[in-house]
Structure 1
Amino acid sequence: MARYHIETYGCTANRGESRQIERLLRDGGHHPVDGPEEADVAILNTCTVVEKTERNMLTRAKELESETADLIVTGCMALAQGELFEGIDAEVLHWDAVPTAIRNGECPTTTPGTEPVLDGVVGILPIARGCMSDCSYCITKKATGKIDSPPVEENVEKARALVHAGAKELRITGQDTGVYGWDTGERKLHTLLERICDIDADFRVRVGMANPKGLHGIRDELASVFANNEKLYNFIHAPVQSGSNDVLGDMRRQHQVQEFVEVVETFDSALDHWTLSTDFIVGFPSETDADYRQSLALLREVRPEKINVTRFSKRPGTDAAQRKGLGGTIKKERSSEMVEEKMEIVGDAYRDMVGERHEVLVVEQGTGDSVKCYDEAYRQVIIKNATEHDIQPGEFVTVEITSAETVYCFGEPVSVCVSE
């Protein structure tokens, strides 16, 4: 697990984003330390309100660069003036990509005891603990072990309890949801999802991270369940990590590139409007320039609507940590190029939605008088002036998409459905 140090500057919104980052990091098994000197990674959440503030942010970034192993810069200045940090050995990220970057491609851990949690209208349901992988860079497996899958009925009852307690969105989580049931000799994720969707209530279900190997074996059954159940967000998170089979072998990933592509093609055939989320690790010790170019080519081929790009960093006690690294400059250059490509691809996906109508679920309050919502494909839609429209978390709203930013779009309400 990573030790982190976070510093936040600026407005209430920035402080709220830092709290979100910390919550996700703690859920992933990472823990805070007292200062950057003790941290594996430091996070600088920046402000850019005036020129003096900008100078202070650059000064603090340079100080943190020398005080900690890895530095991530996020917040307003990072997004609006990221080029100002180019002379600093730091990764510049949107705030919601920070937890994934720190995870370094590792599977997430689940909440202690894999018990469900209700957070506002969001119910978090860990369906299993552990995984079936042995990735050479991952330290999480040392904490969680092999997959341990409770029976389908047990998870269905937990889901039902969350829905009855007020959950409007169920987030199915685990180190690798795609291998749920493997320890019992039966692949059960599609069965579990179908049973959860049979619960008599109005809610949505998001499936958490599933490695491509686990998805590949049930891709037809799973795509059919998605196509036949409106309660399921049309969203999968399948981290490919590299477009090179040689690198995947050195990572000890269980899949090859073609298996990942076949999963994507299956969902493309079954669903019209859906979101592919995937992860790439750049700068793995054995990654050549040709390997990296294969990753870039794969990114351009499948064009995921959500992309997490992580620069490889060594985790103590892992096999990959014993290998000679590539050096910060190479990793930074590859990461910057891939992030630039990512922003264009993701931005195109949201811009293509402008003028369309979608039903969204209001999940939480946003900045100011806005609310954050998700459409059928789990794409983020912001509704402004929520008070004027009398819109609250937990409601379903039909919106017309009026404009788009890179990683979200804005919607104007057409009708509101208040769920019981």
Structure 2
Amino acid sequence: MARYHIETYGCTSNRGESREIERRLRDAGHHRTELDEADVAILNTCTVVEKTERNMLRRAEELEGAVADLIITGCMALAQGEEFREAGVDAQVLHWEEVPTAVTNGECPTTTPDAEPILDGVVGILPIARGCMSNCSYCITKFATGRIDSPPVEANVEKARALVHAGAKELRVTGQDTGVYGWDEGERKLPELLDRICDIEGEFRVRVGMANPGGIHGIREELADVFARNEELYDFIHLPVQSGSDTVLEEMRRQHRVEKFRDIVGTFDERLDHWTLSTDFIVGFPTETEADHEASMELLREVRPEKVNVTRFSKRPGTDAADLKGLGGTLKKERSKAMSELKREVVREAHAAMVGDRRRVLCVEQGTGDSVKCRDSAYRQVIVRDATEHGVEPGDFLDVEVTSAETVYCFAEPVRSAAERADGAPTPADD
């Protein structure tokens, strides 16, 4: 588990994003602390005037010297991220949504021992188990969670039903590794659990949290069929490969090799017409060669996941990987930059291809200003602006047409049904 220090500058929007970053970090078992005790510092920046920019650069330089890892996000990071690089600041410059994953250093999320369902707005958080079956050489989480401990399917279904009855429109099935749910009892229970949750009466969607390839591979066909027959399930899977090199995966003690990852992707490609692959890469593992790095780059080009988390390796105390001689910070930075640029190209292409499409979406939460964040059937993020004018709020299902795209999300306008047009309900096009 990481100890983090976060500083936020600027407007209310920035403060809201920092709160969301902290919520996700808290849910993953990480702890906020003072700067002198932190493993990682997060700087959420503002760029309103030139003086502010100078202050942000100065503060970034100060934080870089105080912690092992620095993450910079916010307005200046997104609009003028190159200024930090030109100033020689050794940091990851990320969109705020990428920050929580970067802090975890490729580790599994960590729920607390007494984790219970949480209803946050219209989103229900459903931890289905604690612990994992992995022994990754870089991960400190295993010291806190231990081996997998799976409650019965019926117990998790009842928790899911309670969340739906309480008003949840999106259920997020979480755990250190959802793919190994039930392994402690000698069974692979995730497909059964998901089928049972989808049978709950009501209109809602279900997102399956991170599942390591080693746990998913043996149930890939059964699991893909569960996705194919249940429209309640977002056609989305978070499958962290971590490296495109079998040599590095062996040193990481990951329970899969690249071919197993490809097998899973191929199976979902066969079963689903439209789905989203999310994956993670750790860049700069101590034994990673230039050829290993290029293998990861080539795998990214090949499978073209639509959500990619790129994390620079950092040592965690007490792990076996911490004893390895590390790569230089400059080399890790260069490899991280190269992969992040390729990632942006791949992700941008996927979202640009959505422009002009009509999609059914669920409004999940308030966005910046008068906007709402929505998810389509494959869990791609779609932003609807002027929500008040459109009469849209979290919990609504609606049909939209995608009008434009940014790197990690799209913008869309609601589409009126035939009944609405007959009623003469006004839309922006009528103005």
Q: Which band: TM-score by shorter chain? A: over 0.9
Give the drift of 1:114.
2.6
Q: Distance in 2 between matches of 1:29 and 1:411?
A: 35
**Counterpart of 2:65 in structure 1: which amino acid?**
S
In the TM superposition, what whole-angstrom CA distance separates every residue of 1:177-231 from its partner, at most 9, and x where no partner exists? Answer: 0000111111010111001101111000000000001111100001011011100
Any residues of structure 2 matched to 1:321-400 within 5 Å, and which? 321-400=322-401
Any residues of structure 2 matched to 1:45-56 within 5 Å, and which? 45-56=44-55
What number of residue pairs does the alignment pair up?
416
Match for residue 75 of structure 2? 76
**Counterpart of 1:84 in structure 2: which amino acid?**
E
Any residues of structure 2 matched to 1:17-416 within 5 Å, and which? 17-34=17-34, 36-86=35-85, 87-415=88-416
Q: Distance in 2 between matches of 1:230 and 1:80?
A: 38
Structure 2: tracts of 5 or more residues without a match? 420-431
Match for residue 13 of structure 2? 13
SS in 1 for 2:279: strand
In the TM superposition, what whole-angstrom CA distance separates every residue of 1:135-186 from its partner, at most 9, and x where no partner exists? Answer: 0000001000000111111111110010000000000000000000111111
**Counterpart of 1:2 in structure 2: which amino acid?**
A
Contact 1:114/1:127 (8 A) holds in 2: no
Give the drift of 1:264.
0.3
Contact 1:111/1:126 (8 A) holds in 2: no
Q: Distance in 2 between matches of 1:30 and 1:56?
A: 28
Contact 2:113/2:130 (8 A) holds in 1: no
Q: Distance in 2 between matches of 1:329 and 1:307?
A: 22
Q: Distance in 1 between matches of 2:124 and 2:278?
A: 21
Q: Distance in 1 between matches of 2:393 and 2:14?
A: 22
In the TM superposition, what whole-angstrom CA distance separates every residue of 1:20-56 from its partner, at most 9, and x where no partner exists? Answer: 111111111111112x222111111001111111111
**Counterpart of 1:375 in structure 2: which amino acid?**
D
Give the drift of 1:408.
0.3
Q: Distance in 2 between matches of 1:108 and 1:397?
A: 32
Q: Distance in 2 between matches of 1:111 and 1:78?
A: 32
Q: Distance in 1 between matches of 2:75 and 2:270?
A: 39
**Greater alpha carbon shift after TM alignment, 67-76 vs 403-412:** 67-76
**Counterpart of 1:67 in structure 2: which amino acid?**
A
SS in 1 for 2:277: strand
Structure 1: tracts of 5 or more residues without a match? none
**Counterpart of 2:371 in structure 1: which amino acid?**
S
In the TM superposition, what whole-angstrom CA distance separates every residue of 1:224-248 from its partner, at most 9, and x where no partner exists? Answer: 1101110000000000000000000
Give the drift of 1:68.
1.5
Q: Distance in 2 between matches of 1:26 and 1:165?
A: 23
Q: Distance in 1 between matches of 2:217 and 2:300?
A: 19
**Counterpart of 2:387 in structure 1: which amino acid?**
A
SS in 2 for 1:137: coil
SS in 1 for 2:382: strand
Give the drift of 1:294.
0.3
Identity %: 76
Q: Distance in 1 between matches of 2:69 and 2:249?
A: 24
SS in 1 for 2:4: strand
TM-score by length of 2: 0.95
Q: Distance in 2 between matches of 1:225 and 1:68?
A: 44
SS in 1 for 2:412: strand
Q: Distance in 2 between matches of 1:393 and 1:27?
A: 21
Give the drift of 1:72.
0.7
**Counterpart of 2:176 in structure 1: which amino acid?**
Q
Q: Distance in 2 between matches of 1:128 and 1:2?
A: 21
Q: Distance in 1 between matches of 2:266 and 2:48?
A: 45
SS in 2 for 1:403: strand
Contact 2:373/2:382 (8 A) holds in 1: yes
**Counterpart of 2:66 in structure 1: which amino acid?**
E
